[in-house]
Amino acid sequence: MLILFFLLALVPFSVDGLTDSPVENVEYIAGYQIVGGSVEQHNKIDLDVEIIANVLKNQYNGKILKASGGDSGTLNIDLANSTYYYGGNSRTSPPYRTTMGFSTDAYRKQSKYLDKALGVRLIEEPVYAERVAYWQYKGILAPDRYDFGHAIIDAAIKNGALGNDAVAFAGKGRNGELRNDVFTFAGKGDDFRIEVIKKSVVYQNVYNYIIWEMQDAINDCKVLEHSNPGSTNSVHAWDEAVAFYTGSLEGTAEGGLQVSSNSQGQLMYGLANKRGCNSGNFDTCTGKTASGHQFSKVNENIFGFFNLGQNQITKAFGTANSSKCADVESTKKLITQQMLVPLIQGTLRYLYKCRYGFSTAGCEAKEAGELFAFASGILPHLHAADSAVAEKLYKMSWEFDTSASYSDIKSSIESTYSKLGITCADVGTLDLSKNPEYGVCGDDENAATPWGIVLVVMFSLLLC
Q: How far apart are CA 132 and CA 134, in angstroms?
A: 5
Quick: pLDDT tens for 40-87.
Answer: 999 999 999 999 999 888 888 776 554 333 455 556 677 888 999 999
Which pLDDT does position 361 carry in this prediction? Answer: 83
Q: What is the largest CA-CA distance in the chain?
A: 64
Mean pLDDT of the chain: 85
Which pLDDT does position 281 carry in this prediction? Answer: 97
Which pLDDT does position 123 carry in this prediction? Answer: 95
Higher pLDDT, 96 or 359: 96
Higher pLDDT, 325 or 25: 325
Which pLDDT does position 332 carry in this prediction? Answer: 98
* Of the ranges 2-11, 99-108, 133-142, 228-237, the best mean pLDDT one: 99-108
Which pLDDT does position 224 carry in this prediction? Answer: 86
Q: How many CB atoms lie within 10 A of CB 55?
A: 21
pLDDT at 311 over 90: yes
Quick: pLDDT tens for 142-191.
Answer: 888 999 999 999 999 988 899 754 334 344 444 444 455 789 998 898 89
Which pLDDT does position 231 carry in this prediction? Answer: 62
Which pLDDT does position 461 carry in this prediction? Answer: 46
pLDDT at 462 over 60: no
Quick: pLDDT tens for 97-156.
Answer: 999 999 999 999 998 775 666 789 999 999 999 999 999 999 898 888 999 999 999 999
Quick: pLDDT tens for 260-277.
Answer: 999 999 999 999 999 999
Question: Mean of the pLDDT values across residues 383-397?
Answer: 98
Domain ranges of the chain: 2-463
Higher pLDDT, 426 or 447: 426
Q: Which segment of 14-28, 103-117, 306-320, 393-407 scores lowest on mean pLDDT?
A: 14-28
Give the percent of the chain with pLDDT over 70: 81
pLDDT at 454 over 90: no
Question: Mean of the pLDDT values across residues 232-254?
Answer: 93
Question: Mean of the pLDDT values across residues 185-208?
Answer: 94
Question: Mean of the pLDDT values across residues 248-254?
Answer: 98
Which pLDDT does position 71 carry in this prediction? Answer: 52
Question: Mean of the pLDDT values across residues 197-220?
Answer: 96
Prediction pTM value: 0.89
Which pLDDT does position 230 carry in this prediction? Answer: 56
pLDDT band at 257 (very low <50, low <70, confident <90, very high): very high
The three-point CA angle 386-387-389 to 5° equals 70
Which pLDDT does position 70 carry in this prediction? Answer: 44
Which pLDDT does position 172 carry in this prediction? Answer: 43
